Copies of this chain bind each other. A is one copy, B any other.
């Protein structure tokens, strides 16, 4: 660790900024702060931080919009801070582009732990969404939004593609219906979680997959679904 890690903390409440700053600097990290959304974007552009700790509730443009703008030029890890606990599962929605989230009030030690975990995570070399990932006979190209099965193109709807992409992003990992709703449908979806079943059914049909003996998407009874790892 030669170059110090730079962290940008964004919150409109000064005490929270001070608290965060204290804990992060104790880790040997360099901390810059911003009190509004616009300021945050400017500073992010100027100082190119490695990590951004971002409150969602901000005066002016909100945290999600700040995130979008920062994402336009930076691959920094972003941790969202939200105060409404009922939204917490949903805030994690990767659709928003965040890497992690915390619910306020949070413990500063938890924040430090999360940042450490992020920094440990290998970065897929700067915004370079790999061409196409191959999973057995299934090739998935994120940038083209195309899927081919044994070389034959499969036509998926937007939701089906997003669902598949989400599952494929971490093969072998079980996603609950709620997690899938949060990440694919977004944080503000309301409705029956078994909607996932419907789209998964359509997806399986198009992939020629059988629910009782799946090659691609396995059902984990009582838990959710997972994409099969290549054997």
Contacts and interface: CB of A to CB of B under 8 A. Distances in A.
Contacts of A45: 19
A84 B171 CA distance: 43
A143 B173 contact: yes
A22 interface: yes
Interface stretch (A85-93, A104-112, A194-202, A205-213): A104-112
A182 B72 contact: yes
A148 interface: no
A48 interface: yes
Interface string A34-48: 000000000001101
Chain A interface extent, by class: 35 or more
* Total identical chains: 2
Contact of A172 (B19, B109, B144, B220): B144
Contact of A126 (B107, B112, B221): B112
A72 B112 CA distance: 11
Interface of A: 15, 19, 22-23, 26-27, 45-46, 48, 68-69, 71-75, 107-110, 112-113, 116, 126-128, 143-146, 157-159, 172-174, 178, 182, 187, 220-223, 226
Given A144-B172, A144-B226, A157-B222, 18 more contacts: A15-B46, A22-B48, A23-B48, A26-B126, A27-B126, A72-B107, A72-B109, A72-B110, A72-B187, A73-B107, A73-B108, A74-B109, A112-B126, A112-B127, A116-B128, A143-B174, A158-B221, A159-B222
